[in-house]
Structures are given as C-alpha cells and as structure tokens.
Amino acid sequence: MVRVVKKDHTKEPFNIQKVVIAVNKSANRVLYNFTEDELKSICNHVEGYIRDHHMTEIQIWQMHNIVESALEAVRPEVAKSYRDYRNYKQDFVGMLDSVYQKSQSIMYIGDKENSNTDSALVSTKRSLIFNQLNKELYQKFFMNTEELQACRDGYIYVHDMSARRDTMNCCLFDVASVLKDGFEMGNLWYNEPKTLNVAFDVIGDIVLSAASQQYGGFTVPSVDLLLEPYAERSYKMMTEKYTRLGLDADTVEKEVMADILNDFEQGFQGWEYKFNTVASSRGDYPFITMTMGTGTGRFAKLASITMLNVRRKGQGKKGQKKPVLFPKIVFLYDENLHGPGKPLEDVFEAGILCSSRAMYPDWLSLTGEGYVPSMYKKYGAIVSPMGCRAFLSPWFERGGMKPADENDKPVFVGRWNIGAVSLHLPMIYAKAQQESRPFREVLDYYLELIRKLHIRTYAYLGEMRASTNPLAYCEGGFYGGHLKPSDKIKPIMKTATASFG
C-alpha cells in the first residue's frame, strides 16, 4: 500500500480521488472543466509515476510535484493555478503584510488616490482596505506572469484591479426601461411614478443603488427626455385638480406650469444634494453623468433649462453658494436644434450662461466631425459618454458588431464596459528601439497581452449571476437585462465593450 506523508508527519493511504478533487478545484479557478479523458490521463500519469519509481511512501511536496507535472502535460494554465494555490500560505503572508501596511496608512493618514472618496469616513476606510486586499488577490490569482511583469515594467496599466473580478466598469444605464411598468429594488416593489416629483425621488434611488454595483462612470442618457413623460403626467393631474376647484383656464395653466417648474427646481436640487453628499455602498461618491439638451417638447426644454439654471446658481448658504460637481452635465449640441432661430436656441443660451458661471456643462457636438456626429447623422443615435470620457462602439440590433443591412440600427443606451487597460506607447517605442525590433511587432505583443486579459475577464464575469446587480440584469437597466436572478449574465455580455487606452 502507498501512503502519503503529511506535513505533520502523519500518514494516510494514497487516494487518487483526492487528486481529482484538487485538480478540478484548480481548473475551476481558471474557468476550465476537464473532460473525462483529461482526468484519466492525469490519474494515469500520477499512478504510473508512483508505480515506476516503486514508491511506498510519498512526501506531500513530492505529490504536489507529480500532480503539477501531470497538469503541465494536459493543461498548463491549470498547472499554474495549482502551483499558485499550493504556495498560497507563503504568498498570503506577504500579501497580508502589504494590506496591513496600506491599511495603517489609510486609517491614520488617509488616501488621496481617488478624489471621489473621503477617506476620513469610517465606511470609506473599510472600502479602501478591502480594495487593497482585492487588488492583491487579483494580481495573485487572475493575472499571469507576463501580465504582471508588463505592469511592473510600466508598459501596460490595468485600471481598477480592486474591482475587476467583482463587477463591470462604466455604463449608459437605461433608467427609462427600469421605470416602465414598475420594478423591484431591495425586495420591494416600486410602481412606475405617476408624478414628476416622485420620479425625481425614485430615479435618485435607482442611480445610487445601481452605481454601487459597479466601479466606473455611471451615465443617465438624455435626462430631459427621461423626465418629460412624468412632467406630462403631473401636468394632467394638476390641471384636473385646479379645474375642479373652479379656476378659469388661464389661471389653471399659469398655476400648473408654476408648480411643474417648482418640481423641476426641487428635483434637480435634490439630485445635487444626494449625489454629492450620500456616499454609495462602495465607499465613494459615484461619478454620475447626465446628458441633456435635445428634447424639443415644452417639458423637455423646461427640464434642460432648469437643470442648467440650478447648476449655475449653486448650493450652499445664502451669499456663499457654489456649483456642485455631480451629476456631471453634458450638453448634446445639434446646430440644427440649437443654432440661431432654431427651436432650442433658448436651451443653448441657458447652457452658455451656465458655462460662464460653472465648470459645467461639458459640450458634445452631434453635428460636427468625428465618430459621435457620424452616428448621429447616419442613424439619429446619440452616443453619450460613460462617466467622464469613454464612448461605446456601436452594437447593432440584428447584426451585432456590424449592421445586418442598411435598416439595422445601433444600440447605445443600456450598454456597458468591462474594464480598461492602458498602454505606455513611448516606453513601448523605446523598447523597440533598444531591441532593434519593429515598433509594431513590440506593440502587437502588448496588444495581444491585453486582449487575452480582456477575454479572460469576459469569461470570468459571464459566470456571475444576475442577482449580483438586479437593477441592471433583471430589471432592464442593461440591454437584454431581463434575466432571472439565478441566470448567468453571459448571454447579455456580447454587447459589452473592453477598452484599450
């Protein structure tokens, strides 16, 4: 009988099933499933080695080496996973020491890496310490040696290592789809708002809740068009109310419009308070962006102008008011809508006035030159930025990455990004010069490195359940996001992008 000598010098009979369990665990960590033939090959390799060497006792370290060599012959990436895990005790000592050192710095000094996080807060300190641990785990168990070396040397930079294994990056969230006909949030059913002021409250809750489940910029596209139908509902309800009170038609119209304007002012002010003072569950103030300016209906115009006026006037004590940071406002400029004598010239003037007093709005041309205007001119589709600056490439309703025919339409709202990796082009050029190799050859090496990392991220995130972000995956916040909580999100990830910076 062959016995395995454990580290505490106790012995137990050799059991090949324990080898099968161990290698399957290692395979699961890299999202691979062994076939029966592969498992049989591994078992034959291990048993053959023991038999050929006439071993009656095997040290545990010897067993690890035998299993590792068997895995190398069958699936090298699983062999790496097995090797990494067997050394985890030694590695974790170093990892935890690094996390401890960082945690002490966060606790007593703070952290200024992200300006959206207030590291004086207890909740933020907890989040930052967890992020440091998660970053170490990501580097240890997700990245391979080549990727780590490229990062250490500075040729590439993997953004947001602390969150890439948990969730997606930035998005254009489809709030209108979530609101339509009601939705569930936090095990509580929300009916679709019947008035404008309620819509503001509910949208604020949706945004904070959904933004907490990701780590990048969160954009609500065309907020003027989003709010317009709820203003119409309030208008109808208030008109009926004042008419029942016996007021004449002119007075009714005047009072109703004054009330709606007040609802818009209070609603936008409420958002500015909420988004700049209520930290999300991830410990920061989410980078929330809202685009606006193309709605031609009277309430869409009123929404755009009021939003700009509220931002321009600022928040704070009387005589000490100043414009806030969030939500970032992006003005969608169309010369055919906002030019002299055009239907939205007054919206444009409100935007210019706001820009003269505040750092917002940012201006995005829909009718100039470049990618965004080309999509707008050809399809009438607005490509809003995801958070600060990222723009989605098109995904067509029927054709996917390429249009099925001339009638196929691109989709942007409800889509998202899974992460970003940056290249250091000057350093890559210098490396090519130093090694006397073509620049494109060296560049291709790092591009392929990033591509494989992104592909692995797609596969990893695709195994997650829709319950990890119910508003996005179950309630329609993302394109195709009407899954059951127990469903994997892989089917709707085909529309997600991955960024090379």
For the stretch 413-453, pLDDT in tens is: 999 999 999 999 999 999 999 999 999 999 999 999 999 99
Domains of the chain plus CATH, in order, are 3-86 (no CATH), 97-141 (no CATH), 171-233+262-415 (3.20.70.20)
Q: What are phi and psi of 369, to 5 degrees?
A: -115, 150
Amino acid at residue number 220: V
Structure tokens at 103: 């945690």
Amino acid at residue number 470: P
pLDDT at 145: 83
Identify the bridge partners of residue 289 per DSSP, sorted by sequence position.
219, 328
Looking only at the bridges linking them, the beta strands covering 410-411 and 417-423 are: unpaired
The pLDDT of 32-55, averaged and rounded, is 91
Percent of the chain residues past pLDDT 70, beyond the cut: 96
What span, in angstroms and rounded, lies between the C-alpha atoms of 363 and 445?
Answer: 37
Amino acid at residue number 316: G
Amino acid at residue number 286: P
* pLDDT greater than 70 at residue 133: yes
The pLDDT of 248-258, averaged and rounded, is 97
Least confident of 30-39, 104-113, 144-153, 460-469: 104-113
What span, in angstroms and rounded, lies between the C-alpha atoms of 168 and 252?
Answer: 48
pLDDT at 88: 66
Arithmetic mean of pLDDT over the chain: 92
pLDDT at 295: 98
Structure tokens at 430: 């210098």
The pLDDT of 155-181, averaged and rounded, is 95
* pLDDT greater than 80 at residue 91: no
pLDDT tens digits for range 178-223: 999 999 999 899 999 999 999 999 999 999 999 999 998 999 999 9
pLDDT at 112: 64
Please give the angle made by the CA atoms of 198, 202 and 206, to the nearest 5 degrees.
Answer: 170
The reported pTM is: 0.83
* pLDDT greater than 70 at residue 479: yes
Structure tokens at 69: 């060599």
pLDDT at 501: 83
